[in-house]
Structure 1
Amino acid sequence: MERICRNCGDSVTKNYCGNCGNNNEITRIDRKYALQECLNLINFDKGFLYTTKGLLLNPGTLIREYISENREKITKPITYLGLTSIIYTLIANYLKVENPYSEMSKKMYGKSSVNDIMIWIQDNYGYANLLMILPITLCTLVFFRKYKYNFYEIFIVISFVMGMGMLIFSIEPILNKLSADTFIFNEVIVVFFAFLYTGWAIGNFYGNKLKNYLKGFLAYVLGLIIFEVVVITSALIYDVIII
């Protein structure tokens, strides 16, 4: 039976319009519908899991696929980074463990804006992670300047890689909850694997060569150092102006 598409007015013989792709079967809005809409919004049921698996096993192939071939089945990089940062934040807040770095920061920086911002970064690493993308992207652009990729494409690479890194960092609050006495050891182990993965993933994107892995690791570390220097310098300037 031929019908008229509610969206574009073209004739429709099946559930989906052949002209605009609109679904002409309107279902009732209920709990099932609301849940499915949320999953569709972030493409969690297919794209998120597919993206996570690809980033874990072969990040270079997945990211190159997104940049040059197919962007439909892969979660968008900023969306992916945002979701993984939220996952980290939820886990860290739910499994809250006393952070010894608060006292260490007070002893090191005293009552200053530097202390306040360093504690904020430690307590809100998921959000701070979003601010670190720019310096890491710039460092990666410099280290791999001979390649054809522009700033925006490298920004995508770093967003994906750091998104996967957030899932790795999400393991730390779980370890701390299981064994709070080994807080420092837990962090060292998680940070080691996160840094190792990041260097490997960036290098894997540019090709399976040892020098690419080393440059990827250095670009990431240097970007983090630049971020911290900018943050501390800004806080010191703020204190001078206020005083």
Structure 2
Amino acid sequence: MICKNCNSEVTHNFCPNCGQPSKLKRIDAHYISHEIEHVLHFDRGILFTVRELFINPGQNIRNYISENRSRLVKPVIFIILTSLIYTIINHFFHIEDQYLKYEGLETTAFVKILGWMQANYGYMNILTSTFIAIWLKVFFKKYSYNFFELLIMLCFTMGVSMLIFAFFAIIQGVFHIKLFGLAGIIGIIYLVWATGSFFEEKKIANYFKALISYLLGMITFLFFILAIGITIDLLIKH
């Protein structure tokens, strides 16, 4: 028998080269329930990851980068999943419609880009994180983390911030109490705390540098999107 994944010869239940099962089980109700349980279970699942990132984000992210990458959910999957949770809640309760108004600017490319980002928070958070990672690299240059390791750290922290927004969005949607401003404050506090503790939790200056990095990263990203929007509008007019 030949492995359908790597074309190696298989004589037992699993491929000796890549570990692929020699015969895949048929997808049924048991398979679906097992997959859902695998994602949600509290041992190396999404709930375990959320708990660890709330309790001790700095240490857990450092461990993921340098020691053990099997304890936590993959960072890109984590930020996409948490962003999807927030997006669904936001669309259901129309939370952001109460705050964002684009009167007279609906046809501009900049607003259309913002609209696309509102519908795709997972991609938007990854894009935003690239700009924040650049500033983190500037302010924390004495540490040995490269750009991509910082990006991984941001996927985890930004993912948790999405869950914070989702939590307050549910409360606001159900009880009609405007809490989005408070959610933003708590989200920023978490991001600064998690990032500062990731580098060196006992250094107070790290928390200030983390705050500045996030603010500059978000501002730089918005200016970048604005420049793209203005360029597109100018090209269309000409």
Q: The TM-score by the shorter chain falls in which range? A: 0.7 to 0.9
User: Unmatched 5+ residue regions in structure 1?
Assistant: 1-5
Alignment partners' CA distance in 1, 2:17 and 2:128 = 43
The answer for the alignment partner of 2:54 in structure 1 is 56
Query: 1:189 aligned to 162, 165, 182, which one?
Result: 182
Kindly indicate whether residue 127 of structure 2 is the aligned counterpart of residue 131 of structure 1: yes
Identity of aligned residues (%): 35
Kindly indicate whether residue 215 of structure 2 is the aligned counterpart of residue 221 of structure 1: yes
Task: Tell me the alpha carbon deviations over residues 73-116 of structure 1, each in whole angstroms, 9 at most, x when there is no partner.
Answer: 2111111111111111122222334713343x325x46422233
Kindly indicate whether residue 173 of structure 2 is the aligned counterpart of residue 198 of structure 1: no
1:139–1:223 Cα contact (<8 Å) kept? yes
Kindly indicate whether residue 171 of structure 2 is the aligned counterpart of residue 175 of structure 1: yes
Kindly indicate whether residue 142 of structure 2 is the aligned counterpart of residue 149 of structure 1: no
The answer for the alignment partner of 1:3 in structure 2 is none
1:88–1:126 Cα contact (<8 Å) kept? no
Question: Structure 1's 25 and 126: CA in aligned 2 closer, same or farther, altered over 3 A?
Answer: closer
The answer for the alignment partner of 2:200 in structure 1 is 207
Letter in 2 for 1:106: E
Alignment partners' CA distance in 2, 1:62 and 1:56 = 10
C-alpha deviation, 1:153, in angstroms? 1.0
The answer for the alignment partner of 2:156 in structure 1 is 160
1:199–1:218 Cα contact (<8 Å) kept? no
1:60–1:201 Cα contact (<8 Å) kept? yes
Task: Tell me the alpha carbon deviations over residues 114-142 of structure 1, each in whole angstroms, 9 at most, x when there is no partner.
Answer: 23333444455444223211101111111
C-alpha deviation, 1:22, in angstroms? 6.5
The answer for the alignment partner of 1:233 in structure 2 is 227
Alignment partners' CA distance in 2, 1:98 and 1:79 = 24
Question: Structure 1's 95 and 79: CA in aligned 2 closer, same or farther, altered over 3 A?
Answer: same
Question: Structure 1's 74 and 125: CA in aligned 2 closer, same or farther, altered over 3 A?
Answer: closer
C-alpha deviation, 1:145, in angstroms? 0.5
Kindly indicate whether residue 108 of structure 2 is the aligned counterpart of residue 112 of structure 1: yes
Question: Structure 1's 20 and 240: CA in aligned 2 closer, same or farther, altered over 3 A?
Answer: closer
2:12–2:22 Cα contact (<8 Å) kept? no
Q: TM-score, normalised by structure 1?
A: 0.81
3-state DSSP of counterpart to 2:135: helix
3-state DSSP of counterpart to 1:99: helix
C-alpha deviation, 1:55, in angstroms? 0.8
Question: Structure 1's 98 and 136: CA in aligned 2 closer, same or farther, altered over 3 A?
Answer: closer
1:55–1:160 Cα contact (<8 Å) kept? yes
Query: Radius of gyration: which is bigger?
Result: 1
1:106–1:115 Cα contact (<8 Å) kept? no
2:79–2:122 Cα contact (<8 Å) kept? no
The answer for the alignment partner of 1:101 in structure 2 is 99
Q: TM-score, normalised by structure 2?
A: 0.83
C-alpha deviation, 1:237, in angstroms? 1.4
1:126–1:166 Cα contact (<8 Å) kept? no
User: Unmatched 5+ residue regions in structure 2?
Assistant: none
Letter in 2 for 1:231: I
Root-mean-square deviation over aligned CA pairs: 2.9
